[in-house]
């Protein structure tokens, strides 16, 4: 569908964004050696919608990412290999308003528009993750709640239905502790 490099880069961006690019008030904690270690905690709330489809015989991957601590991001990739076009764009006011979804950007010089509906449904899933990344120990606690979606992509005067198997609302507390000492 997409090149491995593109998929890897998009996954890294999405993972990094979801685990907290937010700005937080720093707090300090004492390490055993009595040096000061910086710890930040953010309360992050938002939505992730990742969709696939086919338009004009070309594979589509689209992502709408909302986070209350950073700018929201829309990404669309159409095609693969030498026949690939894609773009991303940051916005400040999100994509979901009263269950209506709308996001747009230029892809291959033409406007691409994602429109439709998204609403929370189903049971909340508790989330707890701990991992080390870029000199920080990161702890994530909170929940994900599935989103029911009905979205389309319009590009180059053609509209297609999108399948959004990875769509959820999240409410997380993200704590980052400096472990570089």
- How many C-beta neighbours within 10 Å does residue 57 have? 7
Report field, pTM of the whole predicted structure over 0.85: no
Percent of the chain with pLDDT over 90: 77
Q: Which residue has the higher pLDDT, 109 or 30?
A: 109
Q: Is 18 left (phi over 0), alpha (psi -120 to 50) or beta?
A: alpha
Residues 6+ apart with CB under 8 A from 97: none
Q: Lowest-confidence range among 32-36, 81-85, 142-146, 171-175? A: 32-36
- Bridge partners of residue 51, in order along the sequence: 62
**The pLDDT value given to residue 14:** 44
- Averaged over 40-45, what is the pLDDT? 97
Beta carbons within 8 Å of 81's beta carbon, 6+ residues apart: 3
Cβ–Cβ contacts within 10 Å for residue 12, how many?
10
Q: Strand 136-155 to strand 72-78: parallel, antiparallel, or no bridges (unpaired)? A: unpaired
The pLDDT of residue 92 is above 80? yes
Q: Alpha carbon of 138 to those of 39, 68, 105: distances in Å?
A: 10, 19, 33
The residue ranking higher by pLDDT, 9 or 55, is 55
Pairing between strand 136-155 and 110-120? antiparallel
Relative to beta strand 96-97, strand 110-120 is: unpaired
Is 155's pLDDT higher than 90? yes
pLDDT score for 107: 97
- Average pLDDT taken over every residue of the chain: 85
């Amino acid at each position: 569908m997409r090149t491995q490099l593109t998929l890897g880069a998009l996954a890294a961006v999405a993972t990094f964004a979801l685990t907290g690019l937010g700005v937080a008030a720093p707090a300090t904690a004492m390490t055993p050696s009595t040096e000061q270690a910086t710890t930040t905690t953010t309360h992050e709330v938002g939505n992730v919608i990742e969709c696939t489809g086919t338009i004009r015989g070309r594979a589509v991957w689209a992502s709408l990412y909302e986070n209350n601590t950073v700018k929201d991001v829309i990404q669309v990739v159409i095609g693969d290999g030498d026949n690939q076009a894609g773009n991303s764009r940051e916005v400040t006011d999100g994509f979901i308003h009263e269950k209506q979804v709308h996001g747009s950007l230029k892809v291959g010089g033409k406007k691409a528009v994602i429109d439709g509906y998204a609403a929370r449904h189903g049971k909340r899933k508790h989330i707890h993750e701990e991992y080390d990344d870029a000199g920080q120990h990161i702890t994530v606690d909170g929940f994900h709640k599935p989103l029911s979606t009905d979205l389309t992509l319009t590009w180059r005067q053609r509209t297609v239905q999108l399948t959004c198997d990875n769509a959820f609302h999240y409410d997380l507390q993200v704590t980052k502790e400096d472990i570089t000492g």
